[in-house]
Amino acid sequence: MDIVVFGAGALGSLVGGLLARDHHVTLVARDPHARRVAGQGLRVTGELDARVRPRATTDPTPADLTCDLALVTVKAYDTAAAARTLATGDPAVVCALSNGLTEETLVAELGDRVLAGSATYGAELVAPGEVRCTGVGRIHVGELDGGTSERAARVAAAFREAGLDCEADPGMPRRRWEKLAVNAGINAVTALARVENGALADGPARDVAHRAARETARVARAEGVDLTDDAAVAAVDTVVEETAANRSSMLQDVERGSRTEASEINGAVVDRAPAHGVATPTNRTLADLLRAWEAAGIAE
Ligand SMILES: NC(=O)C1=CN([C@@H]2O[C@H](COP(=O)(O)OP(=O)(O)OC[C@H]3O[C@@H](n4cnc5c(N)ncnc54)[C@H](OP(=O)(O)O)[C@@H]3O)[C@@H](O)[C@H]2O)C=CC1
Ligand SMILES: CC(C)(CO)C(=O)C(=O)O
């Protein structure tokens, strides 16, 4: 497959690097990472090991963006800009692996080419040209409104060919909310407590993560998605176990002094709650604390 990874930071470099073992991959990334990958190739270290030579560019042409599959791995708040750039090319299928409910933003520019996606792999960009896998998770792809499709099966098979754990999921509407519950719990709590995911295996941090996940499940149900409180909590526990050594993407943001996805994750739960009369005090507190930290001066 001809695959473009748009926004190849930590997650995109890991997934794109692994896909490059079997497919023709172009990473759209920032310098100095893009320059290093173009010159010396990309190393995947940590729990997985690979040396690959994908193409890399900071400035894709419409021809570069004309591909079988475009994976979007920018931060959720960069999705609209990514969608506008992707629409200058002609990707046959577009699939977001970012956290947050970003697919609707992609659909606005790219229409029915968009598949839903979610990833629980853990990744850190440790140096230009080197990405560390800190947790072997799973990828799910599927139709935004649910159901099976040949294109979702084809994308999942392409991932598996390259050795990634990936399934086509006919239940993506539920899966997206389950992943939002996982991130509402794990990301904000690990970022505020400055701990690895594994620290949420017990104790007070685990209780806060569970409360955030239960609130997310309540909002999901109010929006017509069948996600029980118990299933949301179990999903948090599974990801904590599978990615125990990972520093969540939001913890990495806070440690770098950069903007977080608090508004797109916990804030997304809070924003949808009033219409349904659902209380979301834990997500509100987590989002407010992270926004207060951001307002106090993130690095430019
Ligand atoms: N890291 C992880 O373990 C996991 C992350 N995720 C999710 O995946 C998404 C990405 O996370 P992560 O990889 O950690 O984030 P990163 O910040 O490491 O990666 C995103 C990259 O996209 C780049 N980017 C944005 N716009 C463009 C553009 N127009 N052209 C080129 N590059 C661009 C960013 O550059 P710049 O910063 O300069 O804008 C950045 O390097 C998030 O939604 C996150 O929640 C999901 C599962 C696991
Ligand atoms: C799966 C998990 C929680 C891995 O840390 C993640 O999505 C993230 O860090 O953003």
Please give the number of the atom of ligand 2 that sits closest to the Cα of 246: 5
User: What is the arithmetic mean of pLDDT over 96-115?
Assistant: 97
Sequential DSSP letters for 119-180: E--EEEEEETTEEEEEE---EEEE-TT-S--HHHHHHHHHHHHTT--EEE-TTHHHHHHHHH
**Pairwise CA distance, residues 33 & 47, whole Å:** 21
R_g (Cα) of the chain, nearest Å: 18
- Which residues are the active-site residues? 179
pLDDT of residue 297: 77
CA 39 – ligand 2 centroid, Å? 29
pLDDT score of 299: 58
Verify whether ligand 1 is closer than 6 Å to residue 76 (CB atom).
yes
Q: Is 131 in the pocket of ligand 1 (CB under 6 A)?
A: no
Neighbours of 255 (CB within 10 A): 11
Judged against a pLDDT cut of 90, whether residue 113 lies above it is answered with yes
pLDDT of residue 51: 98
What is d(CA 159, CA 153) in angstroms, rounded to the nearest whole number? Answer: 10
pLDDT at 275 over 70: yes
- pLDDT tens digits, 236-263: 999 999 889 999 999 999 999 999 999 9
pLDDT tens digit sequence for 28-79: 999 999 999 999 999 999 999 999 999 999 999 999 999 999 999 999 999 9
| C-alpha to C-alpha distances, 248 to 18, 142, 191, 193, 243, nearest whole angstrom | 20, 24, 7, 12, 9
Type of residue numbered 189: V
What is the pLDDT at residue 25?
A: 98
Q: pLDDT for 196-233, tens place per residue?
A: 999 999 999 999 999 999 999 999 999 999 999 999 99
- Tokens 């599978």 belong to 242
Q: Which ligand is nearest to the CA of 178?
A: 2
Q: Tell me 113's DSSP state.
A: G
The rounded percent of the chain whose pLDDT value lies above 90 is 97
Give residue 91's pLDDT. Answer: 98
Ligand 1 pocket check for 10: Cβ under 6 Å: yes
Rounded average pLDDT over 151-175: 98
Which ligand 1 atom minimizes the distance to the CA of 125? 18
- Whether the pLDDT of residue 15 is over 60: the answer is yes
The DSSP bridge partners found for residue 5 are 27, 71
Task: Say how far apart CA 14 and CA 219 lie, in whole Å.
Answer: 32
Distance CA 113, CA 92 (A): 6
Summarize the confidence of residues 14-32 as an average pLDDT.
98
Assess whether the C-beta atom of 134 lies below 6 angstroms from ligand 2.
no
- Residue of 249, 188, 191, 257 whose CA lies nearest to 9: 249
Q: What is the pLDDT of residue 3?
A: 98
Residue 156 pLDDT greater than 80, yes or no = yes
Nearest to 94 by CA among 74, 121, 116: 116
Mean pLDDT value across residues 281-289: 98
